[in-house]
Amino acid sequence: MMKHFTGSIVFTIICLIAAGALGYSESGLIGPALSMVFLAGVLGVMETSLSLDNAVVNASILKDMDEKWQRRFLTWGILIAVFGMRIIFPIVIVSVAAWVSPIEATRIALSDHQLYEEIVTGAHIGISGFGGAFLMLVGLSFFFDTDREHLWLSFIEKPLGFIGKIPFAPYATTALIICGLSFLVGPAEQKTFLIAGLSGVATYFAVQLFGDMMGGEEDETTGKVVRSGAAAFVYLEFLDASFSFDGVIGAFAITNNIILIALGLGIGAMFVRSMTVALVRGGHLSEFRFLEPGAFYAILALSVIMLLSIRIETPEVVTGLLGAAIIGVSLWASISHKKRYPHEYEEDGEVEAILPTGNVVPNLHNV
Provide the b/e sequence for 71-86 (b: ≥16 CB within 10 Å).
eebbeebbebbbebbb
Is residue 367 one of the residues assigned to a domain?
Answer: no
Mean pLDDT by 10 residues, the chain (367 residues): 76 91 86 88 79 76 75 76 74 78 85 81 82 87 79 82 84 93 86 89 83 57 52 76 69 77 85 79 71 84 86 75 82 84 60 43 44
- Determine, yes or no, domain membership for 257: yes
pLDDT of residue 246: 65
Residue 14 lies in a domain: yes
The contacts of residue 10 (CB under 8 Å, 6+ apart) are none
Alpha-carbon span 71 to 88, nearest angstrom? 23
pTM of the model: 0.72
> Residue 171: its pLDDT value, please?
92
Question: Any idea how long the chain is?
Answer: 367
pLDDT at 211: 67
The answer to whether 3 and 9 are in contact (CB under 8 A) is: no
Which domain, by its residues, includes 73? 2-361
User: Is residue 322 situated within a structural domain?
Assistant: yes
Task: Report if residue 366 sits inside a domain.
Answer: no
Number of structural domains the chain divides into = 1
Please check whether residue 140 is in contact with residue 302, taking contact to mean a CB–CB distance below 8 angstroms.
no
Q: Please report the DSSP string for 25-76 in residue order.
A: HHHS-HHHHHHHHHHHHHHHHHHHHHTHHHHHHHHHHHTTS-HHHHHHHHHH
- Residue 215's pLDDT is what? 53
What CA–CA distance (Å, rounded) separates 121 from 106?
A: 16
Q: What is the per-residue pLDDT for 221?
A: 45
pLDDT in the model for residue 228: 56
